[in-house]
Amino acid sequence: MTKEAALRRVALVTGAGRRIGQAIALGLAEEGYDVAVHYHGSEAGAEETLAAVERLGRTGTLLAADLRDAGAARALADRTVQALGGLHALVNSAAVMVRQPVEEVTPESWDATLELNLRAGFFVAQGAIPHLRRSRGSIVNIADVAAFEPWPAYVPHCVSKAGVVMLTKGLARALAPDIAVNAVAPGPVLLPDEWDEVTRRHFAATTPLQRLGTPEDVVAAVRFLLASDYTTGTVLIVDGGRVIR
């Protein structure tokens, strides 16, 4: 192995074709990672992410997969290693957030949320275990302050993100000491498109730091957790103080 190959770091970011996942992929490329850009429905966005990764002087690859298929989720790490030569960091960012009053939730919509937001992350991580053990790498799951706050119109989402918190803690215990597993729980960052300006201003005004978060706030937290050699099982809340109101 060449010295250059030994120094390369590779990250797999799920849901990297849009929103926070895209920002994380670019933030890790800026940090020196080569990046496997996973997407399902956001092909155009994923291509933009890959192009930006390459403009930063890093190597990237596109990985299309429906993570609700457990086999496809498990295979994602192997595909990353085949394309980029290794795996040092996994960021589980793929998720869906659907506004749905409790009376309108169906078994199908419930399963669709839990399968992507919770189950998929487990099986992607399961497939990554041998590679991350080899590199003594890290997993960062993207949770949400919805794990700690009940949102009446987003109950399946809240349940799924609470599950991500426990998934993080369970994997941290199960995979220690070889693999660190942590989570970031963002607050009001990239609010849903259907929220109007009045709602957005209200969220900013009722946040102790008096502003909405930015994708860069989340990226900074992910970078910190990936760089830390002595942090595992931690959920880093990045919400401007909303949960302490």
What are the boundaries of each domain within the chain? 3-244
Using the predicted structure, report yes or no on whether residue 6 has a pLDDT greater than 90.
Answer: no
DSSP codes of every residue in 153-215: GGHHHHHHHHHHHHHHHHHHHHHTTT-EEEEEEE-SBS--TT--HHHHHHHHHTSTTSS-B-H
On average, the pLDDT of the chain sits at 95
Q: Point out the catalytic residue in the list 33, 154, 169, 230.
A: 154
**Is 154 labeled as catalytic in the residue annotation?**
yes
In tens, the pLDDT along 58-68 reads 999 999 999 99
Q: Point out the catalytic residue in the list 33, 39, 161, 230.
A: 161
How far are the Cα atoms of 42, 134, 201 from residue 192, in angstroms, in the given order?
A: 17, 39, 13
- Percent pLDDT > 70 in the chain is 97
106 Rama class: left (phi>0) / alpha (psi -120 to 50) / beta:
beta
**Is 169 labeled as catalytic in the residue annotation?**
no
Say which CATH topology domain 3-244 has: Rossmann fold (3.40.50)
Using the predicted structure, report yes or no on whether residue 4 has a pLDDT greater than 60.
Answer: no
